[in-house]
C-alpha cells in the first residue's frame, strides 16, 4: 500500500462551538462564560479563568438565543444570573456595532 501524503500540519487557532447556533468558530469571535469551582457563573473576558466554560458568539442574535432557550445554563449546568446576561448582551451590542 502506498503511503498517503500527509497534509501539512497547520497550527490553527482553537475552535470552539457556540452554544446558541452550534457553529464552530475561532475563540476570538466567541465569549467565554465560565462556571467557577465555587459554582458561580461569570463572564470570562480573558479566557483564562478556571472552571467549566461555554462559548457563545459575541453577537446580539446568539446571546438572545441562549438567554431565551436557556442553553447557557444547560451547557454550564448552573443558573446564569441576570448580571452575566446583561454583561453578555452589552458586550454583544458593542461588538455588533463595531462590525
For the sheet with 30-35, list strands across it: 41-44, 30-35, 52-57
What is the number of alpha carbons within 13 Å of residue 2 lying toward its C-beta? Answer: 2
Per DSSP, the three-state class of 32 is strand
Q: Does 21 bind Zn ion (CB under 5 A)?
A: yes
Q: Does 89 bind Zn ion (CB under 5 A)?
A: no
Q: Does 31 bind Zn ion (CB under 5 A)?
A: no
Q: Which is nearer to Zn ion, 36 or 47 (CB)?
A: 47
Residue whose CB is nearest to Zn ion in the complex, by number: 18
Q: Does 57 bind Zn ion (CB under 5 A)?
A: yes
Neighbouring residues of 9: CB distance < 8 A, sequence distance ≥ 6 = none
Per DSSP, the three-state class of 54 is strand
Total binding residues toward Zn ion, as defined by CB under 5 A: 5
Q: Does 18 bind Zn ion (CB under 5 A)?
A: yes
Q: Which is nearer to Zn ion, 36 or 53 (CB)?
A: 53
- State which of residues 31, 34, 43, 62 lies at the interface with Zn ion (CB under 5 A): 62
Record the cell numbers describing residue 12, joined without a space: 490553527
Under the rule (CB under 5 A), what is the footprint of Zn ion?
18, 20-21, 57, 62
Amino acid at each position: 500500500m502506498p503511503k498517503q501524503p500527509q497534509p501539512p500540519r497547520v497550527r490553527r487557532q482553537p475552535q470552539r462551538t457556540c452554544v446558541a447556533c452550534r457553529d464552530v468558530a475561532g475563540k476570538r469571535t466567541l465569549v467565554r462564560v465560565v462556571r467557577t469551582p465555587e459554582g458561580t457563573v461569570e463572564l470570562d473576558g480573558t479566557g483564562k479563568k478556571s472552571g467549566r466554560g461555554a462559548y457563545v458568539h459575541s453577537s446580539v442574535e446568539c446571546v438572545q438565543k441562549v438567554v431565551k432557550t436557556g442553553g447557557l445554563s444547560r451547557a454550564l449546568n448552573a443558573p446564569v444570573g441576570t448580571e452575566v446576561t446583561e454583561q453578555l448582551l452589552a458586550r454583544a451590542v458593542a461588538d455588533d456595532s463595531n462590525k
